[in-house]
Amino acid sequence: MEVPRPPAVLDAEMVRIIGPVLKNHSFPSGHSFTALATAGLIMLHTRSLFCAVLVLVIGLIAALSRAAVGAHWPLDILTGGAAGLLFAQFAKALCARYWWLQGEGLQRFSAVLMTITCVALIFHVSRYPDTRILSASTGVIATLFLCGYWWRQLGRLRNRAN
């Protein structure tokens, strides 16, 4: 569905644009989908209520930022975010159903992809220069968490070898 973005419809005085002016392909918000799908997946796999709430709040802030920068309508954000949360639930159900989505090999493969993505995020240059520090620091923090995962994996491999 082709829905114009806020800058294409509203007067320039009604909306403050941060970053490049985007005028088409508004529905749904892909950023909101990604933020809440990621938050949903983390929430479904954490045992800590504090962590789950914190991740959800961060995901919601990321989704709502799309309206703050003048890129999306609230309905775009709501639809993208809801689809992201549904995707997370679907992915968990799919992994629970099929044995080949539960093995250590797939887990390590996913961790490799996440590691590559997080390292790339450190060096990513977006169309929003003010987000450079946030992008780089997020990439560094996520990479450090993944380093912890890889350290534990190496310890397990060493224990098996002995």
Question: In degrees rounded to 5, what are phi and psi of residue 131?
Answer: -95, 5
CA distance 111 to 6: 38
Q: Mean of the per-residue pLDDT values for the chain?
A: 81
Q: Which two tokens stand for residue 152?
A: 């534990």
In tens, the pLDDT along 106-129 reads 778 888 888 998 999 899 887 777
pTM over 0.85: no
In tens, the pLDDT along 72-82 reads 777 788 888 89
In tens, the pLDDT along 18-74 reads 665 555 565 788 788 888 998 998 888 888 899 889 999 998 888 887 777 677 777
